Structure formats: C-alpha cells, structure tokens
Amino acid sequence: MDLDNNLDGVSPVFVSSSVGTARMSTAWNQLEWQNDRFGSWLVCNSGGIPQLSWWDVITNQGVDHGKCAKVQLLTENYAGPQPNVCSSGCA
C-alpha cells in the first residue's frame, strides 16, 4: 500500500499475495492497515468500475459519499481447492 501523494482524501490499493506490509492486521476477522493515516477502506466509482481505495484521514478531507462508500474487508478461512480424492472404484 502506498501513502497518498496527491493530498486528496482517497488513495488506491494494490493487493497481491507477494507484496505486503507488516502493518496489516486481521484482528477480529477484519483486514486493517495499522497506520496513523488510515481511516477506512472505501469502494469508489471510477468510470463505472468499482475500485478499492483507502481514506487518508491526515488530509482532513471527508469522504465523497457520491463516489465512495466505506466498507469493511472481512477475512475468511479458506483452504483452497481440494484435491480430487478417489474413495472407491477409481480407475
């Protein structure tokens, strides 16, 4: 995640399994960024396409609720695809 560079209240999020920050928390089954600037996760309309962003509270700008909605990112245990298991009569 990058800090806001253009001094508006919304910044983009890049999610990848290979890139991360040690300050991410999944306490209480919610994904949060442990950063003084982090206010909340947002989903913002960008030309008809929803995009995940975060609200930068340091800018002292509110959230434009005409374009963005505050959301919670909930975690869920996921074991991934299960291998095919043949219990009987397999060729």
Q: Name the pTM for this structure.
A: 0.67
Where residue 80 falls (left for φ over 0; alpha for ψ -120 to 50; beta otherwise) is left
Q: What is the pLDDT of residue 42?
A: 93
DSSP lists the bridge partners of residue 44 as 51, 68
Mean pLDDT of the chain: 78
| Close Cβ partners of 19 (under 8 Å, ≥ 6 residues apart) | none
Q: Could you tell me the pLDDT band of residue 91, with boundaries at 50, 70 and 90? A: low
Side chain identity, residue 51: Q
Given a cut of 60, whether residue 67 has pLDDT beyond it is yes
Question: d(Cα 9, Cα 49) in Å, to the nearest integer?
Answer: 19
